[in-house]
């Protein structure tokens, strides 16, 4: 399951969960909307059990956006034990899978 969160919730979750993958999006971003069902399917994959999946509106969450270094949309970032591990802007599922697999 993908949880939509704001700046406040974002900070709490990345500091309290071991592994977190975040998709930064904007409502106007067509590629973000197209990637949403793929991200949702990934969150339900048993292989990724124990990983928290978050959606963050980049325009409404400036602190989260700055922490992850968002430069384009859709933008993905992985956090482990509260620290940024990797990030990339992409619309390719295999790139996001590589980011997620890099958390192990």
Catalytically annotated residues: 29, 32
47 DSSP assignment:
G
Distance CA 68, CA 48 (A): 21
DSSP SS3 for 92: coil
DSSP SS3 for 89: strand
């Amino acid at each position: 399951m993908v949880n939509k969160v704001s700046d406040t919730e974002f900070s709490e979750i990345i500091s309290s969960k071991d592994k977190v993958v975040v998709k930064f999006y904007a409502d106007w971003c067509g590629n973000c909307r197209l990637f949403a069902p793929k991200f949702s399917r990934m969150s339900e994959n048993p292989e990724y059990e124990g990983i928290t999946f978050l959606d963050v509106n980049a325009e409404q969450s400036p602190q989260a956006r700055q922490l992850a270094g968002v430069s384009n949309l859709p933008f993905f970032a992985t956090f482990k034990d509260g620290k940024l591990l990797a990030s990339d802007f992409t619309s390719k599922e295999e790139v996001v899978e590589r980011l997620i697999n890099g958390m192990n």
